[in-house]
């Protein structure tokens, strides 16, 4: 018990996630022949490279007691706009192209942030509306055309699958490694930098944060801007991985990003969570989806139902866990007070 007390609630969530991931892999390894191989890791890591970025941005927003339902549309528009640019200018510098994609996503994040933080419109209303608006912008901008991999330079199409290093049959590819670096950097910022800690303060208690001199509006605005930035980077990764971009690009990423964050231990009511947990949540969601496709016992139409059930289970578990944690802290404080009172006598 002393060891668990020293680990802390976030550490316990991470350990629980790793244990559940292990159980999922063990279950499907028994059910599906030839399940455990390098191809499974390579397939999951390639897919997670995109969702990890989106879930990281979604986590920052949820930490402030908000939600961003427009991320899928932002990913789609960023991917298409970036594809259009590089198709017309194939000699464009890769860093400039990446910057362009990030700025497109950031622009959409600014719109959401202004409406939520300063106009005081509830985030679920703003981002539900902007999800439809941004998708409509994409339809209008595309002019019924598509981006094809034939029009993209070879370096862009090859980037996500470029091996960085291998462990046996498992390849750690450039796309996955790049996303992992971003997740780690954001995690370090949230845990080490005082300005980044304000996301937790605003989400835990906005009134107390204001009394402490924290500009809650600025923090919420920053969360949506960063969410747009991450969605823009994910749009670049989406373009590089798939090559063929249509107006439905990124559709459904809203639910998957929320599921990844919540399953990863991010409190849907704000104030607690970690991007490492969201990263593991993205792995779990993708692992389940991939495994269910290969598992003949369950129809593929149940995948969305499983995802919804996973969100409900994660929220319920997190609520129970939080209540138990509060009860343990109260009991510990009461015990310490009694001990101090006895010592004073």
Q: Would you say residue 284 lies in a domain?
A: yes
Q: Would you say residue 52 lies in a domain?
A: yes
Closest by Cα among 184, 171, 230 to 46: 171
pLDDT of 210 > 90? The answer is no
Maximal CA-CA distance, the chain: 83
Q: Would you say residue 331 lies in a domain?
A: no
pLDDT digits (tens, 9 = 90+) for 294-321: 887 777 667 667 767 776 776 676 666 6
Provide the mean pLDDT of the chain.
87
pLDDT digits (tens, 9 = 90+) for 13-52: 788 888 888 888 888 899 888 888 888 888 899 899 999 9
269 falls in which pLDDT band (50, 70, 90)? Answer: confident
pLDDT of 82 > 60? The answer is yes
Q: What is the reported pLDDT for 242?
A: 92
Q: Would you say residue 30 lies in a domain?
A: no
CATH number assigned to the domain comprising residue 283 = 1.10.3470
The C-alpha atoms of residue 274 and residue 71 are separated, in whole angstroms, by: 19
Q: Would you say residue 12 lies in a domain?
A: no
Q: Would you say residue 268 lies in a domain?
A: yes
- When divided into structural domains, the chain yields a total of 1
pTM comes to 0.88
**Domain with 144 in it:** 37-298
Q: Would you say residue 333 lies in a domain?
A: no
CB 100 within 8 Å of CB 43: no
Q: Would you say residue 126 lies in a domain?
A: yes
């Amino acid at each position: 018990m002393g060891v668990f007390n020293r680990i802390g609630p976030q550490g316990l969530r991470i350990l629980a996630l790793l244990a559940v991931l292990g159980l999922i892999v063990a279950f499907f390894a028994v059910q599906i022949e030839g399940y455990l191989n390098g191809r499974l890791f390579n397939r999951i890591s390639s897919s997670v490279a995109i969702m990890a970025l989106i879930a990281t941005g979604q986590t920052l927003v949820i930490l402030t007691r908000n939600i961003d339902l427009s991320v899928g549309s932002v990913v789609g528009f960023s991917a298409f706009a970036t594809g259009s640019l590089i198709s017309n200018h194939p000699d464009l510098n890769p860093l400039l192209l990446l910057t362009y994609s990030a700025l497109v996503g950031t622009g959409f994040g600014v719109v959401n942030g202004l409406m939520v933080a300063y106009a005081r419109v509830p985030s679920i209303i703003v981002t539900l509306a902007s999800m439809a608006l941004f998708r409509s912008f994409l339809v209008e901008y595309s002019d019924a055309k598509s981006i094809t991999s034939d029009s993209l330079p070879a370096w862009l199409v090859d980037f996500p699958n470029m091996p960085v290093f291998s462990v046996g049959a498992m390849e750690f590819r450039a796309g996955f490694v790049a996303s992992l670096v971003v997740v780690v950097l954001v995690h370090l910022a949230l845990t080490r930098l005082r300005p980044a800690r304000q996301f937790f303060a605003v989400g835990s208690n906005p009134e107390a944060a204001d009394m402490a001199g924290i500009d809650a509006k600025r923090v919420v605005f920053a969360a949506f801007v960063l969410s747009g930035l991450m969605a823009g980077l994910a749009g670049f990764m989406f373009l590089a991985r798939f090559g063929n971009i249509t107006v439905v690009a990124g559709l459904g990423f809203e639910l998957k990003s929320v599921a990844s964050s919540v399953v990863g231990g991010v409190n849907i009511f704000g104030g607690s969570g970690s991007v490492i947990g969201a990263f593991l949540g993205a792995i779990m969601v993708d692992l389940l989806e991939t495994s269910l496709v290969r598992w003949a016992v369950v129809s593929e139409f149940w995948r969305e139902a499983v995802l919804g059930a996973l969100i409900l289970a994660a929220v319920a578990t997190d609520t129970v866990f939080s209540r138990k944690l509060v009860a343990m802290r109260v009991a510990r404080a009461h015990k310490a007070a009694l001990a101090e009172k006895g010592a004073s006598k």
